[in-house]
Amino acid sequence: MGDVRSAVGSLAGPGATRFVLALLVLCYHFTPLRSGNFAVCCFYILSGYWITKMWRNKYSKAIAPQRVFLMSRWLRIAPMLLLCTALVLALPIDCSGATPGWLLRQALIIGCTGTYVPLAPAWSLDVELQFYVAFAIGAPALFTLKQPSRLLGWLVTISLTVSLTAAAINGNIIKPWLWIWLPLFLAGMWLETSEYRPTKRHIVICGFLLAIGVGLCGALPTLQPLIWHIPRINLTTEQLTVLPLRTSLDLVASLAVIPLLAANLTSKPSVTDSFLGRMSFPLYLWHWIPHTALVLGILKTGSAHWVNGTVALLASVVGGYALTLVDMRTDRTRSKAISWLNLSLNRHQRPN
């Protein structure tokens, strides 16, 4: 089947892959399909990959790479997060939790989630920024190694063991803490540093195992809550027993589909693919506003529930498209801010 590192082409494209993952999050909130945590886990793997690639090719060459990296990442995430947070607060919801301290945490992103979370997807960005800070601290030393992928491989194994052990002790692992999701970011970093390229055999096996897993969860009543939302009051004793395993299985499943993710990272993206990838982030955040409006009854049409859900889903896609255009128009401003920061640091750099 060829060398394990030989490229086999693309199944979809890097942008389309991220867009499909964003749609899985929408399915999680608009349908009974429980695909959201799995999609976020895959996003974290891709984040580890792209951040490592950008650091090695771009940020490491800056005058003060860590500060430039953190500022650029904050500028990439914060404007859209703050905009969508403001939009959801404009709806008739309880805003008593929006204290000055809470607003400051939204701006910092790290620590933005807690007891008051009007924009539910924000928890994952809290984790994302924690990873960026940890990455900026460790990257300079890590990439002085001749083979950083070896160390990263061991770190994936160790951190995964810690996360699953914590899940066994606590009963679940849905918390906005980096160490729980660290195996995924590290796996993405390993994917980039090892230059892993899946063979056709890897992809076929990966797809087969994924289909078997989903099929078993759909066919066996005891396992159905792992992939399908069932009201807790309707769950049997056996189903309640397996329910806490859901996030742990999502974490393991996302690591198992690395060959599928890797197959979509090597192709040169088209203009359409790049736009779809760019749209995934605004869509991921914005869809919570139509979802909240649906829950509040603002989008109810007087028709069947699925009609109301379809209206909210269409509003999510249209709004995500519009916000993507807005986001793209701010690129020049963000680039100027990063350039100014780099020049400012260079101006104050002491000569060797």
| Count of beta carbons in the 10 Å neighbourhood of residue 67 | 16
pLDDT digits (tens, 9 = 90+) for 104-158: 999 999 988 878 889 999 999 999 999 999 999 999 999 999 899 999 999 999 9
Report residues of the chain scoring pLDDT below 70.
1-11, 171-174, 299-304, 345-352
First to last CA, the chain: 53
CA atoms within 13 A of residue 8's CA, in its CB half-sphere: 21
Phi, psi of 177 (to 5 degrees): -120, 135
3-state secondary structure of 293: helix
The pLDDT value recorded for residue 351 is 41
3-state secondary structure of 97: coil
One-letter amino acid for residue 266 of the chain: T
The pLDDT value recorded for residue 5 is 40
User: Which residue spans within the chain are E strands per DSSP?
Assistant: none
| Count of beta carbons in the 10 Å neighbourhood of residue 318 | 12
Residues with Cβ within 8 Å of residue 223, at least 6 apart in sequence: 216, 217, 242
User: How far apart, in whole angstroms, are the C-alpha atoms of residue 306 and residue 287?
Assistant: 16
- The DSSP call for residue 80 is H
pTM listed for this prediction: 0.91
User: How far apart, in whole angstroms, are the C-alpha atoms of residue 327 and residue 200?
Assistant: 37
Tokens, residue 274: 């790049």
- The DSSP call for residue 233 is G
The pLDDT value recorded for residue 1 is 41
Nearest to 45 by CA among 121, 133, 152, 147: 152
Is residue 320 within 8 Å of residue 283, measured between CB atoms? yes
Give the max Cα distance, the chain. Answer: 72
3-state secondary structure of 33: strand
The pLDDT value recorded for residue 280 is 96
pLDDT digits (tens, 9 = 90+) for 86-106: 999 999 998 988 899 999 999
The pLDDT value recorded for residue 2 is 44
Nearest to 42 by CA among 215, 253, 233, 281: 253
Tokens, residue 84: 């969508």
Residues facing residue 228 across a β-bridge? 33
Residues with Cβ within 8 Å of residue 65, at least 6 apart in sequence: 55, 59, 139, 140
3-state secondary structure of 229: coil
Q: Kindly tell me the sign of the dihedral angle through the C-alpha atoms of 36, 37, 41, 43.
A: positive
The pLDDT value recorded for residue 350 is 46
